[in-house]
Amino acid sequence: MKLVRLFIFCAVLAFLACNSSKPAAHASEVQSTAPDSASDIGLTPQQIDGAMNAALKVDPQRAWEFVKQFVATGSRPLGSAGHKRAEDYIHAHLRGDQVEDDSFTQDTPTGKFPVHNIIAKYPGKNPGIVVFLSHYETNIWLPKTFVGANDGGSSTGLLLEFARLLRAQVKNGPMDGYSVWLVFDDGEEAMQREWANDSLYGTTHLAQKWQQEGTAKQIKAVLLADMIGDADLNLERDHNSSARLQAIAYAAAEHYGYQSHLYARDTEIQDDHLPFARIGIPVMDFIDLDYGYNNSFHHTPEDTLDKLSPKSLEISGDVMLGTLALLDAGAK
């Protein structure tokens, strides 16, 4: 099966996930290019059903509680008291798990700042690692009233729900399938309003570290979640993501009847997946970059809990965990 790509070239679709960029003016004209069959991921329909029936599923109310409590830590720019509260919240909800801190000091255009990536590891029987990724800090240049409920909050809460599910899986030893690492990364946002060359600090550091250590070779996929809580959920087809992983995610969505939430728009997202893509790891960004009319809630104090829904956490989470289940089942 071939993917038919219908582009509208009338606009430069250079979306900046964490800049004040707006959705392409012509986004609504872009045809959906969703795969029309799951058969191109190397599994039979029976294999897909088998894998999906065994997939982990989020509890939307528990995921919502994590998001709500995490967002209550408030504004959390690098080096702030709010940032420390956010870190403490994440660590408290990973207690007893295998956790690695990747901490360093970063030079930025506005000075030196502490950057703290937090990595939780859940061992699997298969050689190889699948990484779920979310940034957790908020922009330093936004007012203190900015709490990033969707931007940083929704995906952090979702990953904490993944942690709860994975913890139960590894209670009696390694789980079936790949090892899973949850990365709560820091310093995704720019220190100044200009995003290029002043962002992705945590993931750039981690990608370099994983490349030097040889860890990168073991990683089968980096699945990034960003702004996945929008009550009006439309995950992008991002052209900086792996088309193969997008087809696998679509097969997972099909199993749940969630197709209408995927790939209505073709975009090109710059986000935390890029440092890993640059060192050859397959990546996918699960992101909805149309948050409020004309993306008007993005990077504003309007990014609050009332714009989100437990259902969107469930859809995003189950599609991501379904992608993991299909990778474990040998999807290609």
Give the binding site for Zn ion (CB under 5 A). 18, 151
How is residue 45 written in tokens?
A: 């329909």
* Position of minimal CB gap to Zn ion: 18
Residues 150 and 172: their CA atoms lie apart, in Å, by: 34
Residues 86 and 230: their CA atoms lie apart, in Å, by: 21
Sheet with strand 175-185: strands edge to edge:
98-108, 111-122, 175-185, 124-135, 219-226, 283-287
Nearest residue to 252 via CA among 74, 34, 4: 34
Nearest residue to 76 via CA among 94, 89, 63: 89
List, in sequence order, every residue forming a beta bridge with 98; answer none if it has no partner.
Answer: 121
Residues 175 and 186: their CA atoms lie apart, in Å, by: 28
For residue 213, how many C-alpha atoms fall within 13 Å in the half-sphere facing its CB?
10
CB of 4 to Zn ion, least distance (A): 32
CB of 44 to Zn ion, least distance (A): 40
Q: Which is nearer to Zn ion, 188 or 318 (CB)?
A: 188
CB of 189 to Zn ion, least distance (A): 5
Q: Which is nearer to Zn ion, 151 or 288 (CB)?
A: 151
Residues 298 and 290: their CA atoms lie apart, in Å, by: 8
CB of 76 to Zn ion, least distance (A): 12
Q: Which is nearer to Zn ion, 265 or 298 (CB)?
A: 298
Q: Which is nearer to Zn ion, 18 or 120 (CB)?
A: 18
Q: Which is nearer to Zn ion, 281 or 289 (CB)?
A: 289
CB of 5 to Zn ion, least distance (A): 27
CB of 122 to Zn ion, least distance (A): 27
Nearest residue to 264 via CA among 24, 81, 80, 61: 24
Q: Which is nearer to Zn ion, 18 or 253 (CB)?
A: 18
